[in-house]
Amino acid sequence: MRHFSLALAILAFAAAPQAADTLPGASGAITITPINHATLALTYGATTIVVDPTPQGTFTGVPSPTLILVTDIHGDHLSPPTVQKLKGASTVVVAPAAAAAQLPGATIMANGESKTISGVGLEAVPMYNLVRGPAAGQLFHAKGRGNGYVVTLGGKRIYIAGDTECTPEMKGLTKIDAAFVPMNLPYTMTPAEAASCVAAFKPAVVYPYHYNGSNLEEFKNALAGTGVEVRIRDWYAK
């Protein structure tokens, strides 16, 4: 609960969506819209994916989602009322079992599982802490509870890490076109640790997100010369 309370304190304002970026997809652009903290939208043609929608985000201009992906149970990732508000008649909600318990009708994905839903390829990647936790012998995020996701959309592989440290599963990813990687203490990792992990799996583009208070220039500088394009965006704009 401590993480939940602090996360809500960090996000005590509503943020408007930032201007969308793009990736070239097989039949047009994939738009990437940062919304707030850990919340984002991906749109390709008639398909829109919203990740971790919470009430701190403003969804004006974001199409009704085809898919909603939820990564974990903490309040900066899971808001059942916001999910319900965004859902359309055909929206599919995907979540790990721990989060799906609060989301009636959600499709459950476990770590390591792959599915194709509404024409979108999904791979559930373990997200967890290796060493950081609220007390000795405890972790903020236990392995198996939450999911990161690799989304295959428009022929591109897009990795959304969720709350995680630099795990073997992240370092082992291949052929990632864009990645969203967290960096904030004490819950995930430092900018230097995040950069080291990104350098290991070498996505074409990386977005630092879930970074409140972190030194993004440290992250960017650590990846200089690796060939990874670092896109820094303001996920906390009022």
Task: List, for residues 13-67, the tens digit of each pLDDT value.
Answer: 344 455 679 999 999 999 999 999 999 999 999 999 999 999 999 999 999 999 9
Mean residue pLDDT across the chain: 92
Tokens 């599915």 identify what position?
A: 115
This prediction has a pTM of 0.92
Instruction: List the chain domain ranges.
Output: 2-224
- Predicted local distance difference test score (pLDDT) of residue 4: 42
Q: Are 220 and 192 in contact (CB under 8 A)?
A: no
Q: Which CATH number fits domain 2-224: 3.60.15.10, 3.40.50.300, 1.20.1600.10, 3.30.450.80?
A: 3.60.15.10
CA distances from 127 to 19, 120, 152, 166, 179 (A): 28, 21, 18, 9, 14
